[in-house]
Amino acid sequence: MMNGKKVFEDLKIAAFSWALVGPLTLKFFADYGATIIRVETSLRPCVTRTSAPYKDSIPGLNRSGYFNHFSANMMSLSLNMKSQQGLSVARELIAWSDVVMENFTPGVMDKWNLGYEELKKIKSDIIMVRQNGFGIEGPYKNLAAFGMILAAIAGIPNYIGWPDGGPLPVGIGAYTDGISPRFVSAALIAALDYRDRTGKGQLIDLAQFETSLYYLLPGILDAAINKREPVRNGNAVDYAAPHNVYPCKGEERWCTIAVTDEVQWAALCGAMGKSGLAQDSRFDTLQHRKENEKELDAVIETWTIGRTPEEVMTLLQAAGVAAGIVEDASDIYEDPQLRQRGLLWPIEHREMGKFTHLGTSMVLSKTPAQAASPSPCMGEHNEYILKKILGKTDEEFAELLAAGVLE
């Protein structure tokens, strides 16, 4: 705490958010005290609310692991934006907010007359964050922009696969949803600082397509300068050998091993009980190991296959060789590193009982994040938001409820 306050305790965000990129961005602020109100509707629920897996395999808008895992410390306002009364409530919420965040296809907010120019009329120093797939301008702006599509257009699959096969999709479909929030959070903090110093808000227009390119710049530059396209090499890289994922004892158990110099190579040979391999003319230099990489991998596999991945990692790490278990979901859930650092938050949820929410990977020593509240059920905070935050009377709340505005 800073003087007894959380870092973002005074920050108020109205979130017209969809899918993963919205809540992943909001988490940075919600976990450190910001008041986050997600505007959503059961008439067209967020795709994460309707996606498996569900708690206890029972479907429901409030039971999806996708939505609930990422949405602790936020509130839900269910609002029918197709009604004039719903739009009126949204405008009142914006007047209360410091920040309006959205990641719909460009045109949705403008259809509701809630574009940036209109928001400035409601609140002159408002900060609007538009985190769309391709940005609010350009020939791609209206394209469908789910994570797998964005990753493909960014060219990421061209780097994944084997020399004799085609490009492979990123294993996590919404890959770019996990990249963009890092950029947007920094931009928003800068905009908040600017507003505090000048009294002026601003529009942040961020394209998820563009943020993903930062991970591919060497390949893009190579193509631009040398006219070379990336070559899919499976797990191999030019600067290391061995550099692969090796089968271990057990069903679908694997361990990665990466060796970048001769000292590490000698250490690996010693750990395997095959010190003589370090001087073998097939493997004594990086160039020779690359030339005989298939044979090299086969030698290492004969050693790893009789040991658990934990044994392989422990032995090699002790010898100074980079090695890591390929953890499955159960491994990650029980991982002692994550448990000690408190990344997983078991919180009591109104409908699901105890549910493990994702905590925060940023540990601030003086202002720790807190698991203040579980992920919200659809419309769970309607009455609180309308009456306590927006000042509606009991009668006005009942009128909105009866009119079907809070759906």
Residue 73 three-state SS? coil
**Is 177 a residue of the active site?**
yes
- Write phi, then psi, for 131 (nearest 5 degrees): -115, 65
Strand partners, 2: 5
| Catalytic position from the list 31, 98, 177, 297 | 177
Strand order of the β-sheet with 322-325 is 243-247, 254-258, 322-325
Backbone angles phi, psi at 29, to 5 degrees: -95, -40
Paired with 237 in beta bridges are 240
User: Which residue bears the tokens 């965000």?
Assistant: 13
What is the C-alpha separation between 321 and 306, in angstroms, rounded?
19
Q: Which residue has the tokens 């410390």?
A: 73
Of 146, 207, 128, whose CA–CA distance to 19 is shortest?
146
What residue type is assigned to position 296 of the chain? L
Torsion sign (Cα): 104, 108, 113, 116: positive
Residue 364, SS3 per DSSP: coil
* β-bridge partners, 64: 54
Task: Give 335: exposed, middle or buried? Use CB within 10 Å, 0-12, 13-18, 19+.
Answer: middle
- Asked if residues 256 and 324 have their Cβ atoms less than 8 Å apart, the reply is yes
Question: Amino acid letter at 308?
Answer: T
Give yes or no for a contact between 259 and 323, defined as CB atoms under 8 angstroms apart: no
Q: Count H helices and E strands in the chain, helices first.
A: 17, 11
Name the residue type at position 373: S
Tokens coding 193: 């600082």
Distance CA 253, CA 261 (A): 26
Which positions are annotated as active-site residues? 177
